[in-house]
Chain A
Amino acid sequence: MRFGVVTFPGSNCDYDAYAALKRVLCAPVEFLWHGDSDLKDVDCVILPGGFSFGDYLRPGAIARFSPVMKSVIRFAETGGLVWGICNGFQVLLEAELIPGAILRNESLRFACQWVRLRVDSNRTPYTRGTRPGDILRMPVAHADGAYYADDETLMDLETSGQVVFRYVNAEGIPDEKSNPNGSRRSIAGISNREGNVLGMMPHPERAVEPILGSEDGLTLFKSLLGTTATGVDSPLRKRVVSDRGV
């Protein structure tokens, strides 16, 4: 599987995603430029974290109309894998590839902390190496991260199994204290109905080596690469779902 990481003006996690794939997972990965419409025949497009176009107007609102996004939208609609992380999640929401919107954190503070994510759906290519209920530790770093959708949309997301991750406490229960930004129903990540498009606020690419504090992000990359499910051809240590204190 070949990956492409999009760089927008103001992206700042593009190199993190690139390094996670190239150096840690030894997977083929290329940068894609926001001003090009060429996706270089990759199998999975990553829209990285950062502050594309300075977060002007709304996070993701300007990036969503970049030339590259025309191709990304077409790619997603034909079943291509598109993974939006943090600012990339906001871009996906603005592009209406997944439903809802992101609001300023309820606390009005920039949330830079470790969170626990509970996997609520393993019916996506990103989570098929997990079991529902697994808890993954990853960092979040955002000022605008409160997921919002109206009641009807939320109900629809829940019933169709599109809620992929929720912020939870050590017991795996979503509560107010574990929710870093005021997201409705503690939602941290959702997919489209088909599961090929995933958007999430936390940063799996920043949790891929012990020195970073967690390797749980690898679970998602390895699910995509098909190594977790089969346990073959992985140069890496076996995944351990850690649950050290946050």
Chain B
Amino acid sequence: MATVKGTVRVHFKDGVLDPQGKTIHTALRQMGYDWVSSVRTGRLFEIEIDADDPSRAQDQLREISQKLLANPVIESFHVEVHS
């Protein structure tokens, strides 16, 4: 059995209000970084899985993302498997 590392990135869907991102954006502009035109927050999960079949790792991470890590009503996710 091999240990496979992966990351899952979860972020708000377009159109879903992200007041934290908006507040960070405002703060950055107040700090003088007026070239920042938008900030959206998200979440990063670093996950290790015991994989019988490393080629299935992508699907396994997708499954847990769909089930728990992301709420499909408001969030999208992106899975990456690191070899």
Interface residues of A (CB under 8 A from B): 57-58, 61, 65, 93-94, 99-101, 103-108, 146, 148-150, 182
The answer to whether A58 touches B71 (Cβ under 8 A) is: yes
Residues of B within 8 A of A101 (CB): 71, 73-74
The secondary-structure label for the interface of chain B is: loop
- List B residues 4-21 near A (Cβ within 8 Å): 15-17, 19-20
The answer to whether A106 touches B73 (Cβ under 8 A) is: no
Count of CB-CB pairs between chains A and B under 8 Å: 36
Interface residues of B (CB under 8 A from A): 15-17, 19-20, 23, 68-69, 71, 73-74
The answer to whether A105 touches B19 (Cβ under 8 A) is: yes
The answer to whether B20 touches A108 (Cβ under 8 A) is: yes
What are 8 A-to-B residue pairs whose CB atoms are below 8 Å? A61-B68, A99-B73, A101-B74, A104-B20, A106-B17, A108-B19, A108-B20, A108-B23
The answer to whether A103 touches B20 (Cβ under 8 A) is: no
Q: Give complex CA distance A107, B22 in Å.
A: 11
Residues of A within 8 A of B73 (CB): 93, 99-101, 148-150
Residues of B within 8 A of A94 (CB): 71
